Structure 1
Amino acid sequence: MQKKKLILSIIALIAFLVWLYPAEQPYKYRQVKRLATAEDNFLLPISPHISLVTRPTETFHFPVKLDDVGPSNSLYSGSKQYPFYCMTIDSHIGQPLVDNQEGFGVPVYENLAQRSKVIGYSKDCLFKSHLQFYYLNNDEKLIKIATEQFSQLTTLRDAQLPLQLFRAEQGSINRFIYTIAMAVTPEELGTRTVSSLWNKKLIYQFHGGSGIGFRQGRQKATRTITRRLEEVQKGYAIISSSGNRTSYTYNMLLAEDTARRVKLHFISLFGEPLYTVGIGGSGGGLAQYLIGQNSRGILDGLIPQYSYPDMLSQTIYTLDCDLFNNYFTFRATDNLRWQQWEQRQLLEGMNSLQDFPQKIAFLQPVAQLMAGMVPSFPQGNSECINGYFGLSTFIHNPRQGFLRHFYSDDVVEQTNWNYWEDMAWLFRRDKYGLVESTWDNEGVQYGLHALKQKKITLAEFVHLNKNIGSWKAQHQMKAETIVTPFGRKMPFWISLWGSDNITQVIDNEMAPRRSASLNAIEAAYRGGQVFIGKLDLPIIDVRHYLEEKLDMHHMSASFSTRLRLQQANGHYDNQVIWVAKRDFDPTNKAFDLMDIWLLKRTEFPKLNAAQSKPTQLKDTCFDDKGAVLAEGKDVWDGNWNDVGYGNEMLKRGACAEHYAIFSNSRIQAEGPWQGSVFKCYKIPFEQAIKQGMYGGIELAEQLTSLRAIFSQGVCDYSQGDAGRPSDL
């Protein structure tokens, strides 16, 4: 029976990979063939904190003229990043402009369809600003209007009535694709700046995703409009840029620089809006928090969706995920216990569910077989797997890179492919030429909270902390192990959970842990890559409740942000948290109340964000029909703000009762819920015992092992982050 399951899993693996990996041809003809060298460009100083540094005066004369290109270099974000993969074709704009004949960047063809002759190359992916016009059809889709149709609108047989028309301008700013969109009248077709339907309110659309840089990004004008169709129909104007989609970069200084310029371009065409409100989910939410904290004049209000406080502090616990997955799959002696998936939550903190299917379940028996183990199928799933599978490798491993062939083999070999490389403008390089990282797990006592609650045994606690290990140093990492019986078009991934890149127990010694660079952590704080809560703008933090879906957008992130606001300002009165069941989207309601909030701030500019908040705007939870389940000051009380932490008998807030808030691995190690301790202060193990860190747990039988495991000390989270500058 076991053999039959294994055969079926391998067949499923082959079928999955055939579906997942496209042929190389769609990318090979557009590959970056040669690596360009970046010229020097001004980089904004970051001390004491980037929010306190004056931005330079704009050097480009906005607006960008039609049939011309916007600035290629950023204003204050340093040198360009290369390689840079052009995505104008993916955005339905056409090929980028030729900017060199030396082979740098992507090839540009005389005839794209035939790919008959290369007429040059584009390393910066620029293209000319242009206008496009659309109508909304009966299927709620936008259809492009040709110039000759402007005077023949009655011939648009499938147009939705009354006729709805839209204008979109696209061009390049900071090498990224920008979009400006708004509703227009029939008389305004063909014009650039006539805007009688604009209500003088502006939305900046941000987008999420997990990116490591090196790509221009895709942005389609039609999607920019339809994503916010109801607001555009009400008269809002929309601006956006592929540089503000975190699928392509988490460089928040470049994102800010780009957003500032896109907005300046808009203002140079249409004048100052009454206000600018941000909207965007996941990475598009955290971008609002960081741009709002770090800069002035870009955003007046924030509607982050499914947000995190920032990317960097998210890596603290998400890079633990594959350490746990590797431990449960390959290293745990009591494997049967950890196959009871609800037990994993004791250590990982995030939700785990028995009998929840895994899309990549077939990988486990193959990997175990290759490791010389008896193969088994997982009987459940966790957020660590369902939400974060593959991201540890993609974000952290400099030798992994993209699965699709955007770059030639020579370019791939010359480039370090990870999130840290995208931070090269901010962090130092080590002696191997690799950008330092902020991730650290020295002294972390995984599962400490469960131990103190007596939900795991002392022996299990010792085994876990001895064997879980850490990520190897970047220069020791290698790409995931694959076999390619059918070539690179269809690789079979053999190593699972990054197992080849995780430290191991040798000679019965503890699997080594990793120590982060204090310089990198300090730079992260000063450079505004960490949300520290210094933000006085209106915030409506909106999300669906997705914990039962094991989705990566967990609830606790909103409350980490809230705690940082509290820590920085003494209150979080300028932030409202709304959570709804998946079938109801409260975003449009959030826009309506944000409008009231921002107009009041405009009318009474001396009031701060909290003082101008509408009285009807409260923390709220909604059901799947949009009915209010509960609202008010205390509805989210729970473990995150120490109400009943560790005592399940104490009553949670009404919304927290409806929608449970899970934790993460560092909280389960008794780290703080605000979640920005990159490197803990350590105290000697013996001192931790004297301070009562282990509660009533009798340690005598494992003292020798514990002293060996934590010979460098254990985390004392009460002292805060060892890398945070004392003046912040």
Structure 2
Amino acid sequence: MSEKTWSGRGGVLLAAWCIGGGALLAGCGGGDGGARFAGLPPASTGNPPATTTEAADIKVLSNRADLVSGGDALVEIVPAAGIAASALRIELDGTDVSSAFAMRPGERFMGLVTGMSEGRHLLSARAGDTALSSLVITNHANGGRILYGPQIQPWACDAGAQDADCNRPVSYSFKYLSSDPAVAGFQPYDPARPPADIATTTTDQGRTVPFVVRIETGVQDRDYYDLAVLFDPAKPWAPWQPQAAWNRKLLIQHGSGCGNGYGQSNALSSQRVLDRDALSRGFAVLAVSLNDSGHNCNIAVQAEATMMAKERIVEAYGELRYTFGYGTSGGAIAQQWMANAYPGLYQGIIVGASFPDAGSTGNEVEDCALLRNYFGRTATAWTPDQQAAASGHLNTAVCTEWIDFYKFNNNLNPYATNIANIPGTSPTALGGCDAPPGARYDATFNPGGARCTSADSAISIFGKRPDGFANRPYSNVGLQYGLLALKAGRISAEQFVDLNANIGSHTIDYALQAPRVAADPGAIEASYRSGSFNQANGLGQVAIIDIRTLDISGIHHQHRSWTLRARLDRANGGHANQAIWYQAGSQREAYDTMDAWLGAIERDGGATPLAQKVIAHRPASANDRCGSADGTGLSMLECTGLADGSTRMAAGEAITGDVLECQLVPLDRASYGTVVFSDAQWSRLKAAFPTGVCDFGRPGKGQQLTRFWQTYLDTLGQVVVGGMPLPDLP
């Protein structure tokens, strides 16, 4: 696979790169005023598709025509007035496929085009000898490589895989809920011998049906997906006529953590899709291994896998009305950065234990690693309270949890493996990777091996250093650790000077070194452009419910919810599309509220831009809420006051918290207020900051808005280092 580098300005192609469902074009407030709600990337950023003629309009419903995968595409053909659909001859590359098309319910002429090989195909509509219209469909392998490449290697397939892409036939299983209260949970169901104790459920469409669920398990993009939906094995199901129990809504479940898997993982996906609350309402529930951040923390691969799974749903089950997600911690990361950078994948997101992204969160992880190392070796005395103050936390347990328990600094260590595990998470949830021992990087014995860092697993996003390793998106140049604690009198001038003179950094192979480290050239711009540092400029069209609990001793800091809110304010001029439930509201209540919110938006067929519709139709139940641990109601001001900080906020950064590398200003004694430094201390401080200190009053170096729908492969399959927005269809 060859490579080329794309460089461009940091501006944003705002528009309608949308993937959601339904008519599968829409929802970004583009040329149709946002009248259609659920959608996928359109042919262009607002211009009508070039393939549409007055004679017939050919529409791929399941994905954008050049992003199709797996050989199939659900297609609708709308002939012009006066042309009967029954008179059309439909050809794929000159072969008659008219038998796949028919007038379906709703007077729609639709068909499932199948059997496409990898590459470009011409789908055309003719009436007799007259060519009416044609559309080029580009089909990609079921193994992926649509938005991102090269794929991570080596990759281990489970037993039974048919090829190196781990392909295998789709499998189905059934579960049911018993009407006997003594029988808890879903039970195996045999369609040939149905049990007598099947419970019923009434969906949100008012249909009472047996509570029988079919689980589909398949492989796309080299990894698993699972889909569960209410299903009657005795009845047919077609994408143009789904079974009535399905409400045509989709819930995507997400896992936690942030790590880099080097093989298939389906340990938890099949459990997540058995969401009783969602299934009972009639939702389809999806889990995709590659958007489980603990298994894969590459934003572009997450988006690609999610896009492919949604295409599969439309082709096999039918068009989607809308999609929302649910997930905590790493599941919040996946939703918030995908919904921002790949608008339309989600119409709503429900996040818990929220982080806006993995990139800016990684700043604190590495800072904690350096701070803990410093506190462990310095001769200067520090009390635990002083250590916490310098770190921006309420106590020292936060950094301890980041480094000693979760070990997320492993994501910066090329030698790290998932040396421990947390029950209920994916194997790589602690960071690092699970590459086979013989394939792992070793500077001496295997310098070309797999480097277990998040950047190396996403090397096409960040680009390469001259040594071939991934550019590193981390910098602590100019960062004044403990600045606010110094000004507040919580640490001494000597402690401040000693800390900043000796904090150091890590080499590219994660060995401690005395100098600080700057981000590698290209890594900064790529981090912002890709959405790895979430700028929230794509989130204004997404309904957000953030469920927050009090966590003063762990990594899920209170301020992360307010961090995203501050980014929404900066990018979109407000945050009326985000509700924060602070120790208030259940998961079921969040489902009800989100469903009501999106349903109201869906019913609004007006020309108002989508972002305005999201705000206008926010239900009363989506208000901000604040409660104490015992359920006592508090004011939002009190909840805001409960928020702790971060290592960067303790160094003067704003709550937006998304400066990768700061702009610098010269040291100035006057900037420290009443703090007095001796001449010797001032000399040491100048030596620690030879190029100056952070000026957080300005944007970070290279800071720019997220570019929507970044792809890292061009139309010829060449790698585009740093990415580029999807091109318009010709």
- TM > 0.5: yes
Deviations 1:518-559 (A, max 9, x none): 4111011112222111122343333342424x2221111111
Report whether the alignment pairs 1:223 with 2:271. Answer: yes
Per the alignment, do residues 183 and 617 of structure 1 end up closer, same or farther by CA in structure 2, a change over 3 Å counting? same
Query: 1:466 matched to which residue of 2?
Result: 501
- Which whole-Å CA distance do the structure 2 matches of 1:554 and 1:346 have between them? 15
Worse-matched range after superposition: 182-191 or 286-295: 182-191
Report whether the alignment pairs 1:130 with 2:176. Answer: no
**Pairwise mapping of residues 411-560 of structure 1 onto structure 2 (< 5 A)?**
411-412=439-440, 413=446, 414-471=449-506, 473-475=507-509, 477=510, 501-503=511-513, 511-534=514-537, 535-548=539-552, 550-560=553-563
Letter in 2 for 1:612: H
- Which whole-Å CA distance do the structure 2 matches of 1:263 and 1:207 have between them? 18
Query: 2:354 matched to which residue of 1?
Result: 307
Report whether the alignment pairs 1:256 with 2:299. Answer: no
- Which whole-Å CA distance do the structure 1 matches of 2:11 and 2:266 have between them? 32
Aligned length: 558
- Which whole-Å CA distance do the structure 1 matches of 2:191 and 2:211 have between them? 17
CA drift of 1:42 comes to 11
Letter in 2 for 1:62: D
Contact 1:50 1:528 in 2 (8 A): no
Query: 1:682 matched to which residue of 2?
Result: 664
Contact 1:347 1:446 in 2 (8 A): yes
Q: 1:655 aligns with which of 627, 639, 659?
A: 639
Contact 1:188 1:194 in 2 (8 A): no
Contact 2:392 2:482 in 1 (8 A): no
CA drift of 1:704 comes to 1.9
- Which whole-Å CA distance do the structure 1 matches of 2:469 and 2:168 have between them? 33
CA drift of 1:628 comes to 6.4
Letter in 2 for 1:84: W
- Which whole-Å CA distance do the structure 1 matches of 2:234 and 2:7 have between them? 48
Report whether the alignment pairs 1:613 with 2:629. Answer: no
Per the alignment, do residues 468 and 305 of structure 1 end up closer, same or farther by CA in structure 2, a change over 3 Å counting? same
Deviations 1:101-140 (A, max 9, x none): xxxxxxxxxxxxxxxxxxxxxx432221121111235443
- Which whole-Å CA distance do the structure 1 matches of 2:706 and 2:278 have between them? 42
Per the alignment, do residues 704 and 303 of structure 1 end up closer, same or farther by CA in structure 2, a change over 3 Å counting? same
Query: 1:58 matched to which residue of 2?
Result: 67
Query: 1:363 matched to which residue of 2?
Result: none
Q: 2:155 aligns with which of 74, 84, 93?
A: 84
CA drift of 1:184 comes to 2.7
Report whether the alignment pairs 1:706 with 2:685. Answer: yes
Contact 2:337 2:534 in 1 (8 A): yes
CA drift of 1:282 comes to 1.4
Contact 1:212 1:250 in 2 (8 A): yes
Per the alignment, do residues 43 and 624 of structure 1 end up closer, same or farther by CA in structure 2, a change over 3 Å counting? farther
Letter in 2 for 1:280: G
CA drift of 1:399 comes to 2.0
Q: 1:385 aligns with which of 386, 400, 403?
A: 400
TM-score w.r.t. length of structure 1: 0.71
Q: For structure 1, which runs of at least 5 residues remain unmatched after alignment?
A: 1-38, 89-94, 100-122, 353-380, 478-500, 504-510, 636-652
Contact 1:309 1:557 in 2 (8 A): yes
- Which whole-Å CA distance do the structure 1 matches of 2:144 and 2:231 have between them? 32
Deviations 1:236-289 (A, max 9, x none): 111221011001111111111111111111112222222111211112212222
Give the secondary structure class of the aligned counterpart of 2:597.
Answer: helix
Contact 1:543 1:578 in 2 (8 A): yes
Worse-matched range after superposition: 598-607 or 126-135: 598-607
Query: 2:255 matched to which residue of 1?
Result: 207
Percent identity of the aligned residues? Answer: 25
- Which whole-Å CA distance do the structure 2 matches of 1:44 and 1:577 have between them? 38
CA drift of 1:62 comes to 3.1
Query: 1:721 matched to which residue of 2?
Result: 700
- Which whole-Å CA distance do the structure 1 matches of 2:270 and 2:703 have between them? 43
Give the secondary structure class of the aligned counterpart of 1:599.
Answer: helix
CA drift of 1:654 comes to 3.0
Query: 2:195 matched to which residue of 1?
Result: 153
Give the secondary structure class of the aligned counterpart of 2:315.
Answer: helix
Query: 2:411 matched to which residue of 1?
Result: 395
- Which whole-Å CA distance do the structure 2 matches of 1:253 and 1:57 have between them? 17
- Which whole-Å CA distance do the structure 1 matches of 2:545 and 2:283 have between them? 20
Deviations 1:150-204 (A, max 9, x none): xx422x6xx6688631111110111121111112346459999853211222112
Worse-matched range after superposition: 451-460 or 163-172: 163-172
Contact 1:307 1:541 in 2 (8 A): no
Contact 1:347 1:665 in 2 (8 A): yes
Give the secondary structure class of the aligned counterpart of 1:553.
Answer: coil
Contact 1:41 1:76 in 2 (8 A): no
Per the alignment, do residues 212 and 409 of structure 1 end up closer, same or farther by CA in structure 2, a change over 3 Å counting? closer
Report whether the alignment pairs 1:72 with 2:136. Answer: no
CA drift of 1:431 comes to 2.3
Contact 1:542 1:586 in 2 (8 A): no
Deviations 1:278-326 (A, max 9, x none): 2111122122222222223321111122121110011112211121111
Contact 1:275 1:300 in 2 (8 A): yes
- Which whole-Å CA distance do the structure 1 matches of 2:569 and 2:615 have between them? 13
Contact 1:202 1:236 in 2 (8 A): yes
Query: 2:34 matched to which residue of 1?
Result: none
Query: 1:671 matched to which residue of 2?
Result: 653
Q: Could you say what the CA RMSD is over the residues aligned between the two structures, in angstroms?
A: 3.1
Give the secondary structure class of the aligned counterpart of 2:371.
Answer: helix
Contact 2:237 2:317 in 1 (8 A): no
**Pairwise mapping of residues 232-271 of structure 1 onto structure 2 (< 5 A)?**
232-271=279-318
- Which whole-Å CA distance do the structure 2 matches of 1:153 and 1:566 have between them? 54
Per the alignment, do residues 238 and 40 of structure 1 end up closer, same or farther by CA in structure 2, a change over 3 Å counting? farther
Give the secondary structure class of the aligned counterpart of 2:544.
Answer: strand
Deviations 1:588-634 (A, max 9, x none): 11111112211111122524322221234211123457x56146xxx
Per the alignment, do residues 406 and 693 of structure 1 end up closer, same or farther by CA in structure 2, a change over 3 Å counting? closer
Give the secondary structure class of the aligned counterpart of 2:676.
Answer: coil
Structure with greater proportional strand content: 2
Larger relative contact order (CA 8 Å, sep ≥ 6): 2
Letter in 2 for 1:693: S
Query: 1:622 matched to which residue of 2?
Result: 627
Contact 2:402 2:408 in 1 (8 A): no
Contact 1:74 1:258 in 2 (8 A): no
Contact 2:535 2:705 in 1 (8 A): no
Letter in 2 for 1:698: V
- Which whole-Å CA distance do the structure 2 matches of 1:398 and 1:612 have between them? 47
- Which whole-Å CA distance do the structure 2 matches of 1:205 and 1:726 have between them? 27
Contact 1:682 1:715 in 2 (8 A): yes
- Which whole-Å CA distance do the structure 2 matches of 1:178 and 1:616 have between them? 32
CA drift of 1:408 comes to 4.3
